[in-house]
Amino acid sequence: MAKRTTGDGEEQGGNRLFIASAAIILVVVLLGIFVVATSGDDKKEGGSAAPQPSGASTPAAGTGSQGGAGGQQPSDGNEGCRPTDKDKSVPTSAPGDVSWDLVNTVALPRSKSAGPLQIDGKTASCYAHTPRGALMAAANGFYRSILSAPDVKPLKAQALPGAGRDALETQLKKISQPVQSGQMAQIAGFRIVSYTDTTTVVSLVNGSQSANSLKSSDITVQWSGGDWKIVPPPGGGLNTPGDQLNSLDGYIPFGGV
């Protein structure tokens, strides 16, 4: 697999951190994102398809104004959103129907059955009311809100309103330069910490084991208005402070790069 490169084409490897600008430092400090250059020889699991560039508007197959596969009824009253995943069991392996979209610099998952089934620019929505749907919402809402900065429309669409979202909106508006290739760590694994039909906590791992840069953070999503929404803490941010990991032990490998 080819190694990821910086914006000027220089190969990256080892455990060297690469922080290109004050804007990127702000992402790290305010949002707890582990910005890192990683080697490209990690063995990734959990996705069979290579990342595909995400367009301005990319509805997933089987969606649209008339619904999705099998004529399923709308999920919990969210008109036009018809995910087919109904499995309420907590996953013990990576979802098998996942493709990966390359959004700016990060490969993000999309499940045919669990969502997101509706994508508009950097805003993703329409998730199954299941643990797998919550996982997809945590990963997409977390990254897409950050990658859209300083535009806060995706944040407002993907996160619950409140003091936390207001504080995070102020923080994101301070990020004036887009994240460049290789500056934001890729998804590497996950674990469902807790699941109910109303609130789910997903521990998401990003980074690289070979570069000794694995880091886990807990992301909370809540079922609201017929979809999963990120719940920002009162002081802003999208996750709990991250923990450094030595390996993916206890987590399910999951990544598209």
Position with higher pLDDT, 78 vs 201: 201
Q: Can you point out the beta strands (E) in 76-161?
A: 98-103, 106-111, 118-120, 123-125
Amino acid, single-letter form, for residue 140: N
Secondary-structure breakdown of the chain: helix, strand, coil percentages, each rounded to the nearest 5: 20, 25, 60
Position with higher pLDDT, 144 vs 59: 144
Position with higher pLDDT, 180 vs 50: 180
pTM for the model: 0.75
Confidence check: pLDDT of 153 > 90: yes
146 membership: H or E segment, kind and range: helix 131-147
Of the ranges 30-39, 170-179, 185-194, which one carries the lowest mean pLDDT score?
A: 30-39
HEC-encoded secondary structure of 153-183: HHHHHHECCCHHHHHHHHHHCCCCCCCCCCC
Per residue in 61-93, pLDDT (tens digit) is: 333 333 333 333 344 546 679 999 999 999 999
Per residue in 154-173, pLDDT (tens digit) is: 999 999 999 999 999 998 89
Of the ranges 25-34, 124-133, 167-176, which one carries the lowest mean pLDDT score?
A: 25-34
Largest pairwise CA distance in the chain: 50
Tally of CA atoms within 13 A in the half-sphere of 214 that contains its CB = 20
Angle between helices 163-172 and 131-147 (to 10 degrees): 40
pLDDT grade for 26, boundaries at 50, 70 and 90:
low
Position with higher pLDDT, 43 vs 211: 211
Torsion from C-alpha of 227, 234, 33, 25, nearest 10 degrees? 140
Of the ranges 3-12, 51-60, 147-156, 245-254, which one carries the lowest mean pLDDT score?
A: 3-12
Q: Average pLDDT for residues 229-242, to the nearest whole number? A: 80
In 3D space, the residue among 225, 239, 223 whose CA is nearest the CA of residue 130 turns out to be: 223
For position 204, what pLDDT does the model report? 95
- 8 A C-beta contact, residue 215 and residue 242: yes
The token pair that represents 180 in the structure block: 């460049």
Q: Average pLDDT for residues 24-28, to the nearest whole number? A: 52
Q: What is d(CA 18, CA 249) in angstroms, rounded to the nearest whole number?
A: 26
* Percent of the chain whose predicted confidence (pLDDT) is above 90: 52
Mean per-residue pLDDT of the chain: 77
Q: What is d(CA 12, CA 18) in angstroms, rounded to the nearest whole number?
A: 9
Position with higher pLDDT, 94 vs 78: 94
- 8 A C-beta contact, residue 150 and residue 140: no
